[in-house]
Amino acid sequence: MEENSEVGTSTFPKEIVQFLSSPGGHSLILRGMAGTGKTTLALQMIEELAQLQQSYYMSTRVSDHSLFNQFPWLMDKVKEGEILKARKKLRKKADSEMQVEKILLGLAAIKGELKGAKVKSPRSELHRLEGKIESGGDEAASSAAEPTGEDELTVTVGSMMPEIEMAYDVVDKALPERTLIIIDSIDALADKYGVGPARLITALQKDLVEGCGTNVVYVLETPDPLLDYLGDGVLYLSLDHSSGRRIRELDLLKLRGCEIRQPKYVYTLLGGRVRTFEYSRYGKPESPVAFEPIKSSNGKYMSTGNPDLDEMLEGGLRKGTIALIELNPGVPVVSSSQIENAIICNFASQDHGVAWMPTKKTGADTAREELLGFITPEAFDKNVRILEPHAASASPKDYSMTLEGGDVNVDIKWQDLQYALKDTQQPYLAIIGFDSLESIYGPTVLNGMMDFLTAMLNNDGILVATVTPSVKSTSRLSDLAHTHLRIDKTSGVTVIRGDEPFTAPYAMTAPDSGDFRPNLVPIL
């Protein structure tokens, strides 16, 4: 049965979409450190929900022009009318308090004539807050709006917070349909009017979220959790530098009423979008697609069989070198197998000889079966030799080389390999799981392999050594390796990075249909 890869596909978190799509209004606090992509995530929420609800994006820090420069894809969405309500021009402030007073009195008179000084609206908390701003203190709430009933209020002031008023206008126009309002950032807006963010959030919660079922997202400038209690949901964006690289993580801390199946996502901002990665497991597809060999464009290199990995390594694997693939704790062997299998298929499908000892002491038949379908049985049996202990080989196959298990210097010799692969081309590939090798010959096995390695490298061969956390030869292999890849597990996502050459981390995402090679997406 075909399954997804170890890492899964690039996605937008289903939990966020489900939370904002569920019945009723919801408030969502989005906070994180500077540079984590809060604005990008907020804009993408609008895109993801464009078919379900109207949206209004309020930026207190960045102009429309700057947003379009930073997110080129946004302009197309605006033109299509699917995202980002164009911001109306803010009302100009009067030149003096006298002019303000005249305008307010005029508006009050007009409204009084038309409505009998009574307006049905969910804006009671907003006007109460505006009254406090106008008076300069918390005691002025009654001078701004005196509630006379559950939904009625007396209008005595004008718009002290025009941006918020416009958001209310968008909601009113859309009713009874639901609207998504994003305020980026609530801190900056609160500072502009001299009120605390908590007070502003509370007013919007009562008027818009509870009063008319609006979804409101508050982007916070600070990562502090002080306001988390005010939101129905909380998202936290962070950067992890523990590996010496920047890994972006999205925590779903709270989504009230919504089941959170994956509480933390690794994500990238590649292409100006938030792309998150789900975790799952790889299984061989039911209908494997025949492997198409990749010939190196540079005579000094051999392709890894994975175009993304070749690009990451600046050309592939250099002839006459050692490549080390190191699995950190908690990483399943299947993660490295997807890389190793591509290298084997690329060599074998071009008639280059391969000597292979799989990790975890996998039997020869099992290892062979994993690759059949991607390459033909004839190509495998001719070009690949699986090294396995004598005890594991009841009836030796044409594609296996039996190891006695006493002295590695006797069991693995360059001349024997040349004879076993006499019908293949050089350079050869030796791909060795050192956990299996050490289980046969002990932790000092590398000392007995130096003659073989020297002959191999002198003939432009390539050794790919895979090590798990228990392997004792890791340190020395690291000293000898010309290429060093490290595979890690972060929040359930398999991440590969280069120590030599030094590279950014890449998420290993789902292979294409019928393939086994993961796509590598840089985490930027």
Share of the chain above pLDDT 90, in %: 55
> For residue 346, which of 299, 298, 384 has the smallest C-alpha distance?
384
Q: Are residues 443 and 369 part of one domain?
A: yes
Question: 399 lies in a domain?
Answer: yes
Residue 206 and residue 67 share a domain:
yes
Average pLDDT of the chain to the nearest whole number: 83
Written as six digits, the tokens of 408 are 């590695």
- 242 within domain boundaries: yes
Mean predicted confidence (pLDDT) in 19-43: 94
**Domain co-membership, 100 together with 86:** no
Q: What is the mean pLDDT of residues 225-250?
A: 93
Average confidence (pLDDT) over 446-460 = 96
| Residue 512 counted as domain residue | no
**CA distances in angstroms from 34 to 171, 219, 452, 490, 504, listed in the order given:** 30, 12, 52, 21, 20
Residue of 189, 184, 187, 200 whose CA lies nearest to 130: 200
Read off the tokens for 295. 């010939």
More confident residue, 158 or 99: 99
| pLDDT given for residue 80 in this prediction | 61
Whether residue 524 is contained in a domain is answered as: no
Residue 180, classified by CB atoms within 10 Å of its CB into exposed (0-12), middle (13-18) or buried (19+), is: buried
**Same domain? 335 vs 430:** yes
pLDDT tens-digit readout, 243-282: 888 999 999 999 999 999 999 999 999 888 899 998 777 8
Tens-place pLDDT, residues 50-108:
888 888 888 887 777 777 777 777 777 666 666 555 444 444 443 444 444 444 444 44
Residues 445 and 407 both lie in one domain: yes
Backbone angles phi, psi at 302, to 5 degrees: -120, 135
Distance CA(490)–CA(488), nearest Å, equals 6
Spatial separation of the C-alpha atoms in residues 414 and 452, rounded to whole Å:
5
Using CA atoms, how far residue 194 sits from 105, 160, 504, in Å, is 24, 12, 43
What integer is the mean pLDDT of 423-450?
95
| 421 token code pair | 């692969």
Tokens of 388: 């396995």
Residue 499 is assigned to a structural domain of this protein: no
Higher pLDDT, 455 or 67: 455
DSSP state of 232: S
348 and 392 in a single domain? The answer is: yes
**pLDDT of 3 strictly over 70:** no
Residue 241: pLDDT above 80?
yes
Domain co-membership, 438 together with 459: yes
DSSP-assigned letter for residue 273? S
For the stretch 341-395, pLDDT in tens is 999 999 999 999 999 999 876 788 889 999 999 999 999 999 999 998 876 655 6
Do 249 and 390 share a structural domain? no
Domain extent at residue 345? 301-490
Using CA atoms, how far residue 414 sits from 340, 456, 459, 465, 485, in Å, is 22, 7, 10, 17, 26
Q: Is the residue at 446 inside a domain?
A: yes
Same domain for 384 and 238: no
- Per-residue pLDDT at 115: 43
Q: How confident is the model at residue 151 (pLDDT cuts 50, 70, 90)?
A: very low
Q: How much is the pTM?
A: 0.82
Which residue from 229, 199, 205, 203 is spatially nearest to 217, judged by alpha carbons? Answer: 205
Quote the pLDDT of residue 360: 78
Q: Which residues pair with 183 in a beta bridge?
A: 58, 218
Q: What is the rounded distance in angstroms from the CA atom of residue 474 to the CA atom of residue 23?
A: 55
Q: Are residues 218 and 341 in the same domain?
A: no
Give 362 or 28, the one with higher predicted confidence: 28
* Residue 101 and residue 87 share a domain: no
Q: Around Cβ 436, how many Cβ atoms within 10 Å? A: 21
Question: How many domains, in total, are found in the chain?
Answer: 3
Q: Give domain status of residue 26, yes or no.
A: yes
Same domain, 395 and 438: yes
Identify the pLDDT of residue 85: 54
- In a domain, residue 519? The reply is no
Output the domain CATH number for residue 73: 3.40.50.300
